[in-house]
Chains A and B, each alone.
Chain A
Amino acid sequence: MFDASMPTILLTPLISAVIIALLLRRQGNLAAGVSVAAAGIICVLSLKLIFGEEGLNTSYKWLELGALQINLGFLWDANTATMLFVVAFVGFWIHVFSLGYMHNDEGKARYFGGLSIFMFSMLGIVFADNLFMIFIFWELVGFSSYMLIAHYHKTDEASRACRKAFIVNRVGDLGFVLGILLTFWSLGTANISELQAIATQHPDKITNTIGLLLMCGFIGKSAQFPLHVWLPDAMAGPTPVSALIHAATMVAAGIYFLIRIQFLITTDVLTLIVWLGAAMALYAGICALTQRDIKKILAYSTLSQLGYMSAAFGLGYTGIALFHLTTHAFFKALMFLGSGSVIYGCHHEQDIFKMGGLYKRMPVTAFTFGIGVLAISGVPFLSGFFSKDAILIAANLKSTPIFLVLMAAAVLTAFYMGRLYWITFLGKSNSEHAEHAKETPVVMWLPLVVLATLSIIGGYQNFPYIKELFHAFHGSLEKLHHEEGHDAAHNLLLVLGTVAWVVGLGGSYIFYKAGSSMDNLERQQPKLFGILRKALFFDPLYNFYVAKIQNKVADIIDVIDKLIIQGVLVRGSAGILYVTGLFTRMLHGGNLQYYSFWVAIGVLILGAFALGWIG
């Protein structure tokens, strides 16, 4: 029935979005149906490609001006397949979850239309075979993110957050677009395969500047330092959006992009990326520690995990970065949807200290969420263990300081995730809402079960189907395996890794107590808590910049424009003032005939003037 090719997959969500925008604005349920159906078709067709026939590379000319040619091209390789699985499969289940979560929402049609636009944009990045096309869909992804964060536009929080997300991303995109231009004009092409050929044969042409500028795009989209500020605020959007866009797929697009263009990144830039990533892994963990909002904790945790991915990439193990991207997509989407389930069950309560004891009332949510927590903490036999372990081994072999930072971040991860879990799900209820919470309907818990399953099996490279995803990881895993000292590092990690999650999860249980209604850290160590809160100093810094610098400069230039250019140059001279008075009088006393006459005279005079002049 459907041709399972990349262009068909790409166009399906666009058609869905167009149908919703044109016809189904007021029919929320139908719109939801169309959007979920589109996601279903994408999912089925993608699975066919991933586990079956393989995509066929194609390219269509889209714009041509002189030597500038922009193609819409489709590039299929192991990376495409894995990323497509994440986007199509996880995306589909998040669509299903949304059916329940957004059930009574006023703007349901707008929401599902937005999801379809997002799927379209994200798939464009996954398939793109050239930098121009990546940039086009990059921006579109930013727009869909903007639109979906703005879903609850009545609140000031959402109104500010959507703007912040788009603008901070554009800061990154500014560097990104310059990087693309530099690449195109210095290497002569924007096509990824051609660029790879050039990079292999002319390594001298690949400069640090190219890598640095292209990296800006990654920093914006994957919310890495110093452009990370938008992601926690983006939690103002509906929770399934946070799961899909701000955890599993879009923010990971930055890493995916780096992997696509890995040959354009020089060693120096790689070193920078490792350090940025490791620092982010730790820093975001510290920020997560003092949050009370369940979604914000998860948001900072996402930042931290993205830091792991970029560290893996920077260490030269691109496949392992993609591996962690994949497992993270499973368990983080799971936990975000789980938090959505909790929020839904508790009537939009998001403060974990007002929850507690939910395991009795929401058993499926509590159980699946628990799997997510164990997976992210690196508990053995779950997917997160394998990918995180690989990253830590790689760090251990390459650089001790990086390793130490990432280890500290690993302990911290288990600690803050434990804090979240114990307080939210165990103990007794701390509010009315939590007391009367009910397990969510099947459309909401089924996706949790599916994602929980993936979070368990996602790390086994011999598991049916999962092994197909591993084609993209094999190279790096093999490379790591054959590094000198791998076995020793592996054994060391078995011990240290266990220490990390045991200390983290256990420590948080002892320190915070199950179902606590107060932040023990804040109560017992107010000073330390205060210092940790200071870690969030970036937001005030940016606000200061906007209010005191950007707006001031704008006002000053505006005044200069008004005073000097408009004032002095235009209306300053007496002569012009005289003319002003004259014209004003002319324009004042008029009727139809007079003005018509004026037009006629004007045209005639000008015509005659021109003719007379020439004659």
Chain B
Amino acid sequence: MNETLILPLAFLIPLICALGILIMGQEERAAKSLAGIGFGTPFLISLYTFLKFEPGDDGYDYLMEPVNTGLQQFGIHFQMGLNGVSLPLFCLAGIVGLAAGITAIRSNAERLPLYLFLLLLMHGGLMGIFASVDIFFFYFFHELALIPTFIMIGIWGSAERQIAAIEMTIYLTLGALVSLLGIIALYLAGGEEASLSMIKMASHLAENPISPDSQKTIFGLLLFGLGILVSLFPTHSWAPRGYGSAPTSNAMLHAGVLKKFGIYGLIQIAAPMLPSGAESWSTSLVWLALGNVVLIGFVVLAQRDLKQMIGFGSVMHMGYCFLGLATLSVIGVGGAVMLMVAHGMSIALLFLLAKYVQNRTGTLEMPEMGGLATKAPVLAAFFVVATMASIGLPGFANFLGEFSIFNALWKHSGWLVALAASGILISAIYGLRAVSNIFFGEPSAKLAKHWENEAPRDLDLWDRIPALLLICFMLIIGMRPMTISENINKHVKDLSYKDIAPDKPEVSTGMPTKTNLHKGH
């Protein structure tokens, strides 16, 4: 088999399964099996691509020949391939997709076939985004994943769903349109030879850079367009509400994977192709991102509703990704990619566990909970793991991402790092408060009554599988970061981000040092 066909398969299989469900109509069992295939195969493909990844000189592997789409006069070809930055995100989509898929199949949602159809559609889009080399398809797949989200919240969402669905639709459509404008402007500014292929366009622009003024405008469009999609302050308000009312598997995929589209686009496309544009927005971006970290950090502290807390927490952590990007350095951008992957898994896990908690307590109001650890120790253990990951405990990659970003930002200003690092304190406060409120102590009077009628059970095997899947990969990357960081480091350097390094004072060689490091001197 031609290895390059494996990437199109990753998005085609979910789409074909989705189609199958549509044809089958109301057949619930068939829909479940098809969904199993539709979520399982991309996961296996993503693992395969990861294990066999051997990038060529251009930094890509599995790169297919561009296929004519009939639109080549606009520089649009269908082409897929993976590089060091897109690979971990592609795998993230595969992993979170499977976890969300299992959750969805077992969700007993009303009109389950329709639900699975939409989620598969979304997943097809997600697998496509990160495998796309062509910017047009990169964008197209995002839309493909986004639209089912709106519908799913509209139909299966919780109480506030109408407002949430509308707010989200307005914001995300606006963001998508502005980014589209940015992409078109980028293409037009590229001149005659312009292409929408990331590879061609990058080398073309490296030789024929766009004028600084245009760069500034175009990068601005992309920054704010894509920024809205990642809840960049102050356009964040759609996110917590949207996630709060979204059905669980949808929130997992959206917060875990789809949201990464924006930063991924900025890192892979916008900043490398518009270096001076990125430079001129860098300072403003730092301040907006600090808004995410510090201001939203305080907002998280005020949340009493578990899902709102997780949602705002995710907005806060996206601020770190933006900070990393704003440094435009290998360390910062590399850290941002690490954090995106790590955050994708931990946030998906948190949304999943929040659902489990809600099922057992009948509420999302944290002050009305308590004592769940005694009733559901496994759930408690998982929740502590997820919390620790998301508040940046070493051993999870979230820490490495944040730590690298702090390092990169230090080159700009230690004071900024002090501000940004206050986030590690804020997250510890709200994270541990949630654990205490939900799991420790005695159950609240209301909850004790609730449990008289319906004794809570611990997680069963199929509840555990998606959670364990996520935890397992979180730990692998956290304990052995080189698993992904080696490729990230290499490709981020290829994207010509700044290589910053500390100035090391001269030390005379006569001084014996006690270590004999295993590295060449």
Q: Which residue numbers of A lie inside 8 Å of B, CB to CB?
A: 25, 57-68, 70-71, 73, 75, 77, 110, 129, 132, 135-137, 139-140, 143, 146-147, 150, 153-156, 158-160, 162-163, 166-167, 170-171, 173-174, 177-178, 181-182, 184-189, 191, 193-194, 196-198, 200-202, 205, 550-551, 553-555, 557-558, 561, 565-566, 569-571, 576, 579-580, 583-584, 587, 590, 592, 595-596, 598-599, 602-603, 606-607, 610-611, 613-615
Partner of A595, one of B155, B499, B511: B155
With a 10 A CB-CB cut-off, give which of A66, A550, A576 has the most chain B CB atoms: A66
Q: Known: A173-B424, A603-B143. Contact between A576 and B170, CB under 8 A?
A: yes
Asked whether B489 lies within 8 Å of A64 as measured between CB atoms, the reply is: yes
Give 1 or 0 for each of B77-118: 1 = CB within 8 Å of chain A CB.
000000000000000000000000000000000010010011
Question: Provided the pairs A153-B439, A159-B436, A170-B424 are in contact, do residues A554 and B298 lie with their beta carbons within 8 angstroms?
Answer: yes
Chain B positions within 8 Å of A202 at CB level: 505
Contact (Cβ within 8 A) A73 B515: yes
How far apart are B426's CB and chain A's nearest CB, in angstroms? 9
Our pick among A153, A156, A174, A188 for the contact of B422 (Cβ within 8 Å) is A174
Interface residues of B in 392-447 (CB under 8 A from A): 393-395, 399-400, 403-404, 406-408, 410-411, 414, 417-418, 421-422, 424-425, 428-429, 432-433, 435-436, 439-442
- B165, B428, B500: most-surrounded residue (chain A CB, <10 A): B428
With contacts A66-B489, A579-B166 taken as known, whether A189 is within 8 angstroms of B515 at the C-beta atoms is no
- Docked-complex contact A555 and B436, CB < 8 angstroms: no
Out of B301, B371, B394, B410, name the residue touching A136 (CB < 8 Å): B394
Q: Are A75 and B111 in contact (CB under 8 A)?
A: no
Instruction: Please name 14 further chain A to chain B contacts, defined as beta carbons within 8 Å, in addition to the given A189-B502, A558-B302, A580-B163, sorted by A numbering.
Output: A58-B518, A65-B485, A67-B330, A139-B399, A154-B371, A156-B441, A156-B442, A167-B428, A202-B505, A561-B295, A596-B114, A602-B147, A606-B140, A615-B74
> In the complex, are the beta carbons of A61 and B519 less than 8 A apart?
yes
How close is A118's CB to chain B, nearest CB, in angstroms? 14
| Min CB gap B115→A, angstroms | 11
B199 contact set on A, CB distance < 8 A: none
Q: Number of contacting residues on B, CB 8 A?
A: 107
Residue of chain B at shortest CB distance from A177:
B421
Q: Judge whether B516 and A57 touch: CB under 8 Å.
A: yes
Interface pair A598/B151, CB less than 8 Å apart: yes
Give the nearest-CB partner of B395 in chain A.
A140
* Interface SS of chain B: helix
Chain A residues with Cβ below 8 Å from B45 are none
- In the bound assembly, the distance between CA atoms of A251 and B507 in angstroms comes to 34
Cross-chain contact B299 with A557 (CB below 8 angstroms): yes
Contact for B155 among A75, A590, A614, CB less than 8 A: A590
In the assembled complex, the CB of A384 is this many whole angstroms from the nearest CB of chain B, namely 32
Residue pair B411, A65 in contact (C-beta under 8 Å): no
CB <8 Å contact, A64 and B515: no
- Is chain A's interface secondary structure helix, strand, loop, or mixed overall? helix
The CB with the most chain B CB atoms within 10 A, among A68, A135, A136, A187, is that of A68
Q: Does B182 contact A (CB under 8 A)?
A: no
A184's partner among B151, B234, B421, B502 (CB-CB below 8 A) is B502
Which chain A positions have C-beta within 8 A of B433?
Answer: 163
Contact check, A188 vs B505: say whether CB atoms are below 8 A apart.
Answer: yes
Q: Is the CB of B404 within 8 A of A65?
A: yes
Q: Establish whether residues B140 and A201, one from each chain, have CB atoms under 8 Å apart when the complex forms.
A: no
B169 at the interface (CB under 8 A from A): yes
| Cβ B237 vs Cβ A566 within 8 A | yes
Name the interface residues of B493-521: CB closer than 8 Å to any CB of A: 493, 499-505, 507-508, 511, 513-519
- The distance from the CB of B141 to the nearest CB of chain A, in whole angstroms, is 11
Select which of B167, B169, B489, B502 is within 8 A of A65 by beta carbon.
B489
Answer whether residue B16 sits at the interface, using C-beta atoms and an 8 A cutoff.
no
Are A201 and B298 also in contact (CB < 8 A) when A178-B414, A188-B504, A592-B111 are?
Answer: no
Determine if A194 and B71 form an interchain contact, defined as CB atoms under 8 angstroms apart. no
Q: How far is the CA of A607 from the CA of B144 in the complex (A)?
A: 10
Chain A nearest Cβ from B491, distance in angstroms: 11
A202 to B511, CA, bound (A): 13
Complex contact A599–B407 (CB within 8 A) = no
Shortest CB-to-CB span from B211 to chain A, Å, is 22
Contact (A163, B155) CB under 8 Å given A140-B393, A561-B295, A606-B143 = no
- Which chain A residues lie closer than 8 Å to B399 at the CB level? 136, 139
Which chain A positions have C-beta within 8 A of B330? 65-67
Contact among A150, A174, A194 for B425, CB-based, below 8 A: A174
Given contacts A129-B515, A170-B424, A557-B298, contact A610 B489 (CB under 8 A): no
Cβ contact within 8 Å between B147 and A603 = yes
Asked whether, in the complex, the Cβ of A182 is within 8 Å of the Cβ of B414, the reply is yes
Expressed in whole angstroms, the Cα–Cα distance for A571 and B163 within the complex equals 10
Q: Are A558 and B298 in contact (CB under 8 A)?
A: yes
* Chain B residue with Cβ nearest A196: B513
B302 near A139 with CB under 8 A, answer no
Q: How far is the CB of A67 from chain B (nearest CB, A)?
A: 3
